[in-house]
Every structure is written in structure tokens, then in C-alpha cells.
Amino acid sequence: MSRFSKVFRRFLTSYLLILMIPSLAGHLSYRAAMDVSVSSSIESSLSTLKQSKEILERRLIEVEGFTKQLAINQDLNKLMIGKEAERPAQVYDLWKMARDLSTYSQTNDYLQNFYVYFHQSDVILTPGSVYYRPHHFYQIHHFDGLTYEDWKQDVLITSHTSDILPMRSFTRNKVPYKALALVQSLPLNSFNKPKATVVVLIEENKIASQLQVMSNQYGGWAFIKDNEGRTLVNSGIEMSAISELKGIPTGEDGDISRMEDGTLKLSIVSDLTGWVYTAGIPEQALLVKANRIKHVTWIVTSAALAAGLLAGLLFAYRNSVPIHRLLRVVKDHVGADTSKSRNEFDFLAGNFTTLITDNRKLEQELNEQLPLLQDAFIKRLLTGDFQSSQEMEAVSAQTGIELDHQPGYACLLRLSGYGGVNSEEIVQELRVGRYVIKQALKKLDDRILATDFGSDKLALLLPAGMTEEEGTGSSFDRICKEFLHDAYERYRLSMDAGIGGRFTSVRDISRSFEEAQQALAYAAPHKESRIIWFSEANREAAMYYYPLDSEQRMINVLRAGEAEEGKRLLNQLLERNFTERELSLDMRQQFVTELKGTLLKLMDQKDFTDAFAEQVRHAVGKIQPADDMTMLKKSIESVIDEICGYVDCRKTIREQETVQEVMDVIHKLYGMPDLSLYMIAEEVGKPEKYISSLFKEHQGENLFDVVERIRMNHAQHLLGDNQLTIDEIAGLVGYNSAHSFRRAFKRVCGVTPSVFRQSLH
């Protein structure tokens, strides 16, 4: 038994499903552990960021507290009201204040670099130093890129209320570094006219030290922005990179963390300063613990699945052996396919019942559809709707109606006595009458073909083999009259029958049927059943014969390129008008003009180019109504040959273009393993069956034989490259399996790919 039989796979699938239950439970537990681990890491990171924020806020509060202490310092207040003229008297007070300020810088590292500017005395005071000339202080301590005038006006003179200037470069004693400045005007309530200004410079590394935990611990980055969106300090990331970041959380409730581009981004907003603290942590740093859990889980799960799979293979093999043997016996004797059954047991139990039921159902459906197809086929024969003999033979084979190409007659039966009555009862009675007549015709001769032609008419095709005579008094006429009389006696059905002229080929059936219609139309109303032969009917000989149906058939035939059929229709029309009728000169001219009009109408179709249409119009214009029948026939046949030749040429060109498109598609898509006729048809925009038959007709071989040959040609070229393996070449030329490629290559080229490669070297 094959290890990969359907029975074996079903058993194995069952065991694997059972095995997957604990595996699924383990997977869910693993996912839960992973989620908890990741959530824990995110919470830890957020807690670290909050801790850094709180520490920095406490230090800033200390700085603000320092400015408030200065505001209530009596010595400082005394110096604030001193003027520049009083400097000599304040020397000692300034020196003492500078000494007192030194204690602040020694106890708090955030206060190591600050100064106080007194507006009225124009003096700058620093811990341990007094500058009587601010421009001397500016030369030693200044912001890079800020002029002395701007610094004095914007920083020292302007009123500030705990304003924080963003991080920028600052030079102190010719040593550059970055710092942000907290500026406070004194007294605290001096909004417009401050008397002193305290400037506290906080170095970048002191603030960044609070954020370095994000980069040191997680390998991430962090930065702080003020409430105006200016970056105050950054750690682990360049300033230029901050502006390029996307998907940064706002820090508001509900938008604190986002995971984007493999980075967890966190943001929190300070209630004290309104600053936004933002940190980014790589996803891998968060998954350190989770990856450990994942590694252990995968090892245990893989080992369990491998052991379970081996056990499932063993049990599936042992249990499927007897069932497979039984199935093989049933298949050998019945030849059924188990794929249509739910399972093998259902197949064994209901195989014969299903077979019989499906067979009866299919037979019933075919029997129900066949009469409809036959009826449509007969109608198309009568109306001459077929454009080519090939189409007629194909439909004939489909419907089961054999065309023996023997002579016969077309006949049109009309049930008399129902003219102008359209009640439901009459329509039902006519339907029953038509059915009864059909059954009676089958008993008379099963070769007779009949179809409904309106509510009160039946169209018939009568084989001429019953008699060779024609017209009233012939044996065929007597048989028809006996049939009509018998129908009246048995079923009380009164009928008139119009019979057209004899047809000698299936192409003449439409002509004979038109004659039958005309014969029945020429008949005067009568109480008794009658047979009217077209050859004996009183027809109007002064009018030319060229009905719309004949004109439309002529147009259809010429558009299809059927020159012989077009000439046959022309001969019928000429015979009908010039042999059977005596047309006046005016009627003759009118008939020829109608013929010429049909040819000119055809030129209005999009199938013809303007140049060819003009050529045909010129040839049609040369046809003269006064020409004798032979000359007229020759001229029109010449135009028919010219039109059909053009149509055949265009058809051949289109077919060749289609075949070339198919070849182009094959060359483009040959490397696709799933290349199919459907895909090629979609690319070309034509039906699958049309492409398949057209390709076979023009190329002389099946489409996929060409696909295989093209693949092998490319494979031979690729085999010259020693860097490509056989498996790689198989994939490049459209084969999923290297084994299938080797078999195809040997079938087409006669040798294996390996031998062919060796022969190249």
C-alpha cells in the first residue's frame, strides 16, 4: 500500500488533530507568557522614564526654590536698589554676597554655574566673583551665536518668570559646552520693571545623566521637548534624527506608547513644566526575556511534535492497510472515485446506489435538453442561420440529427379555423394540436423533422426519398393529402400545407422553406384542408423577389468569407427573378439596384478598410442593370470573390497575430510553474478552446508541447552555466519538481540534464 494513499492520510490527519490539541494549548500558554513578558518590559521601561522625569523635576524645583530664597534675601534686596553711583559704598556688600552665594554652588551641582545681574548698578554677581563691567563677564561667559547687546537685552533686562531657555552652546573660560538656562527676574512680582535677574545654567550632561539609563539599560534613546516643541536635551540620538522621527506618542492619556518600525516609543508629559519626555527602546531589548521563553518552548514543542508524528505515522499505516486493500478491490471492479464520497466507509456503503442515481439523473437531464437543442437546430436550418458548413456539422453532431444531404422538401403546416383568436383556451388547444401532429408525423416517417413555427404552424423537412414526383397529383401529394384527411377524421384538425421547391443540399433548405411560406401566403381562405405547391401557386410575376431574409443571409455569408455559399444564394435569386418571373425593365433595374445596395451596405461595416471599401464601391458601380443575366452574374460573382478573399485574408492575419501573441505570452511566462491554458487565454483575451484549436491548426502541435519545448531550449542554455544546479534550473524554467524536469528533459532531448551538461564541456 502506498504510504500516501487517501486512507492513510485520513488516519494520519486524525492523529495529528489529536496531537495538535495539547500543542495548541501549549501555544496559547506560550503566547500568554510572551504577552505578559512584553507587557512587563513595557511597564518597566515606562516606570524608568517616569522615574527620570520625577528626579529631574525635583532638581528643577530645587533650582526654583533657590531663586525664591534669593528673592527674600535681605542683603540681595539691599543691593538691588543700589545705583551705579553707589558702587564704592557697596563693595563690601557685594563681596560678602558673592561669598554667601558660593555655599549654594557647593551644596547643589545644579547651582554650580549661575549669576545675578543688578539692573540699577549694572553689576553681575557670581559665586565668589563680582563683575562691575558686564561686557567683561560676557567675554568669559557667553552663549555662542548671541551678541552682547542681544544677551543683555533678551536675557538680563527683559522680565522673566522661571523661563527656561532651550539647550544651546555656551562658552565659559574658553571651554565650550551645552547648557540650558533658567531665568528669573527679581523681585518675584516685578513683571515690567525687574531690579535683578538670576540666570542658572544647567549643563547638558547633568540633565542627560537622568536619561542615560534608557540607553545604558535598553540600548535606546531619549529626549525632552518643552511645551513649544523645542528640544531641550537629548541622549542616545542626534538632533537631526529627532526631527525625522515619526509616530511619536503625544504623551496624553491613551497615547503614551506606540510600537513602530521595530521600536517602542514612549512619551509622558510633565505636569510641572509641560515638558514632553520621550524615549525609544528597540523591540529586541524588550524581548530578551520573551526570547528565552520562546527558545525553550520551541525546543520542547518540536520534540513533542516529532515524537507524536512518528507515532501517528506508525498507527496510520497499521490501521489503513486493511481498508486500502478493500478499496482497491472495489475500484478494480467498479472503477469509482473515492474523492466524491465523504470518506472511504461511505464510499464502500453507497457506491452502487450513487452510481445508479447519478446515471439516471444524467440521462434524464440529457433527454430533457436534447429536444430543445434539436428544435433550435431545425429552426436554424429552415432560416439559413448557419454561416459555414463546419458550424452546421458541429451542431448536427451535438443534437444527434444526421444530415444525409439527400433531396427533400420544406413544408409549412397551418392549423385552420383559429385566425384572430388568442384566448388561453385556444392557445392551449393549438399546443395540443401541434403535439398530436408531431406524433402522427413520426409514425408516418421517422425521418421527418418538425418544429413549431408560431402558435398555429408547424415547419417540416420532408425527405424526397418517398417519391421523386412533384406537384398536384404526384404520389407525394397523395400521401400528404391522405395524412391531412386522416388528421381531420381522427383529431378534427383542419390544416393547410404550403410546400416549397425541392432542395438538393442542406444549403437549399432555407430557400425551399421561404417558398413554402410564400405558397401558404398565396393560398386563399378555404374551409377544407389543402396542399399548395409553390410551383403551382398564383404568384405575382411582375414584382421582383428579394426578401429581407435573403438579403441578411447574403450579408452574413459574405462577412464570413463563404464565397461558394454567396454565389449559390446569388444563383437562386437570379433564377427566381429572371427565369421564373418576367420582370419589367423598371423591376429589373430595381432588383439589380437592391443587389448592389446589399454589397454597398456590407462596406459600411467596420470589418473593411476605407481603401478596400472604395475599391468595392467602384466595382459595384460598374454593374449595369441593363446587362444580360450572364454578364450580371459574372460581375456580381467577381465582387463576391473580391470581398470573400479580403475577409479570408484578414481572418488569416488575425489568426496569425493571435498565434504570435500566444507565443509571446509563452516566452514571457514559461518560467511560471502554474502556467495554464486559462492564464494564456487571459493574457491574450481569447477563449481557451479557441486558442487551443487555433494553435493546433496553425502550428501543427499541441500548445503545451510547444511550452515544453521552449522550456527545454532555455534549460539547455542554462545548463551551460556550471554555477546553477539542476534544481535551480528546474525552478527557472517552470518546474516545481526537479524529478519532473529530468523526465521532461530526457523525453524531449533524449538525454538527462547531467549528461547534456557533461557533453557541453
Do 76 and 119 fall into the same domain?
Answer: yes
C-alpha neighbours within 13 Å on the C-beta side of residue 23: 18
Q: Tell me which residue range forms the domain holding 139.
A: 49-285
Q: Are 677 and 692 in contact (CB under 8 A)?
A: yes
Distance CA 365, CA 379 (A): 22
Residue 746 has pLDDT above 80, yes or no: yes
Residue 430 has pLDDT above 70, yes or no: yes
Give pLDDT tens digits for 202-221. 887 777 777 777 777 777 88
Distance CA 283, CA 300 (A): 25
C-alpha neighbours within 13 Å on the C-beta side of residue 684: 29
Distance CA 63, CA 162 (A): 10
Give pLDDT tens digits for 100-153. 888 777 777 777 788 888 888 888 888 888 888 888 888 888 888 888 888 888
**pLDDT score for 347:** 66
pLDDT band at 572 (very low <50, low <70, confident <90, very high): confident
Give the range with max mean pLDDT: 56-60, 585-589, 662-666: 662-666
Give mean pLDDT, residues 527-531: 69
Distance of alpha carbon 354 from the chain centroid: 39
Give mean pLDDT, residues 421-440: 80
| Cross-strand partners of 451 | 459
Do 631 and 674 fall into the same domain?
Answer: no
Q: Which of 93, 118, 113 is nearest to 102 (CA)?
A: 113
Instruction: Give Cβ neighbours of residue 410 (< 8 Å, ≥ 6 apart).
Output: 382, 459, 460, 461, 462, 499, 500, 503, 509, 512, 513, 515, 516
How buried is residue 687: exposed, middle or buried, by Cβ count under 10 Å (0-12/13-18/19+)? exposed
Express as a percent the part of the chain with pLDDT over 90. Answer: 0
Give pLDDT tens digits for 377-390. 888 888 777 766 77
**pLDDT score for 46:** 77
Do 567 and 525 fall into the same domain?
Answer: no
Q: Are 695 and 662 in contact (CB under 8 A)?
A: yes
Distance CA 677, CA 317 (A): 38
**pLDDT score for 474:** 73
Distance CA 154, CA 199 (A): 12
Do 676 and 638 fall into the same domain?
Answer: no
φ/ψ bin of 667: left (φ > 0), alpha (ψ from -120 to 50), beta (otherwise): alpha
**pLDDT score for 539:** 56
CATH number where 436 lies: 3.30.70.270
Distance CA 624, CA 636 (A): 10
Residue 457 has pLDDT above 60, yes or no: yes
Distance of alpha carbon 674 from the chain centroid: 17
Give mean pLDDT, residues 464-469: 59
Give mean pLDDT, residues 363-370: 77
Alpha helices in 257-343 (DSSP H): 283-286, 288-334
Residue 550 has pLDDT above 60, yes or no: yes
Which of residues 344 and 308 earns the better pLDDT score?
Answer: 308
Residue 3 has pLDDT above 50, yes or no: no
Total domain count for the chain?
Answer: 4
The reply to whether 211 falls in a domain is: yes
Structure pTM? 0.43
Do 527 and 591 fall into the same domain?
Answer: no
Do 487 and 556 fall into the same domain?
Answer: no
The reply to whether 477 falls in a domain is: yes
CATH number where 725 lies: 1.10.10.60
The reply to whether 4 falls in a domain is: no
Give the range with max mean pLDDT: 232-236, 263-267, 687-691, 728-732: 728-732
**pLDDT score for 670:** 86
* Cell, residue 362: 444524467
> For all residues of the chain together, what is the average pLDDT?
79
Q: Are 489 and 513 in contact (CB under 8 A)?
A: no
pLDDT band at 421 (very low <50, low <70, confident <90, very high): low
Distance CA 250, CA 278 (A): 9
Express as a percent the part of the chain with pLDDT over 70. Answer: 87
Which of residues 754 and 25 earns the better pLDDT score?
Answer: 754
Residue 439 has pLDDT above 80, yes or no: yes
Give mean pLDDT, residues 148-167: 84
**pLDDT score for 345:** 66
Do 266 and 228 fall into the same domain?
Answer: yes
* Cell, residue 434: 401541434
Residue 558 has pLDDT above 50, yes or no: yes
Boundary (domain end) residue, out of 491, 506, 534: 534
Distance CA 537, CA 532 (A): 7
Boundary (domain end) residue, out of 594, 623, 652: 652
**Residue given cell 381531420 in the structure block:** 488
The reply to whether 23 falls in a domain is: no
pLDDT band at 1 (very low <50, low <70, confident <90, very high): very low
Query: Out of 156-160, 355-359, 482-486, which region has the weakest mean confidence (pLDDT)?
Result: 355-359
Do 529 and 590 fall into the same domain?
Answer: no
pLDDT band at 322 (very low <50, low <70, confident <90, very high): low
pLDDT band at 527 (very low <50, low <70, confident <90, very high): low
* Cell, residue 385: 442561420
Alpha helices in 203-287 (DSSP H): 204-218, 239-244, 283-286
The reply to whether 323 falls in a domain is: no
Do 619 and 687 fall into the same domain?
Answer: no
| Cross-strand partners of 141 | 172
Residue 155 has pLDDT above 60, yes or no: yes
**pLDDT score for 2:** 47
Do 572 and 465 fall into the same domain?
Answer: no
Give mean pLDDT, residues 173-178: 83
Give mean pLDDT, residues 652-679: 86
Give mean pLDDT, residues 591-617: 82
The reply to whether 309 falls in a domain is: no
Residue 741 has pLDDT above 50, yes or no: yes
The reply to whether 7 falls in a domain is: no
Distance CA 389, CA 385 (A): 11
Do 116 and 190 fall into the same domain?
Answer: yes
**pLDDT score for 83:** 63
Query: Out of 137-151, 295-309, 591-605, which region has the weakest mean confidence (pLDDT)?
Result: 295-309
Do 611 and 676 fall into the same domain?
Answer: no
The reply to whether 324 falls in a domain is: no
